[in-house]
Amino acid sequence: MPGADYKLTKLLGLRPSVKRLMMYQQGCFAGGTVPRLAKDLAENNAGACVFVVCFEIIAVTFRGPSDTHLDSLAGQALFGDGAATVIISKLKIVDYFYKHFNLYVTFSGDFPLRCQII
């Protein structure tokens, strides 16, 4: 069964031969591992443009509140579904991506939101 990487490749119209690397079940650890790996790939492959996609789906583990498992409420209160992308490359591609990519931010709750694109 094709994974999310293959489906994303098709959705973005990329060639099926594009190199893909999936890292499952990394949690917060991926926040340091994936950018380091992407940097290494971009630096050591001439002309490489590394598109990093990170997503976390907590909803699949959701269960209703229980008097016997109050600890599960803490995790459900702290974490939620989310996604982020970043492009890492040695190429000067900034102008192209400013014209073709947009920033979309969605959230639930009454929290202040500040975003800056550098």
Q: Give the catalytic positions in this structure.
A: 28
Query: Is the CB of residue 21 less than 8 Å from the CB of residue 8?
Result: no
106-51-92 Cα angle (round to 5) = 110
Q: How far is CA 30 from CA 33, 56, 78, in A?
A: 5, 11, 18
Of 32, 30, 77, which Cα lies nearest the Cα of 58? 77
* Tokens encoding 70: 């109050």
Query: Is the CB of residue 50 less than 8 Å from the CB of residue 41?
Result: yes
Query: Is the CB of residue 56 less than 8 Å from the CB of residue 82?
Result: yes
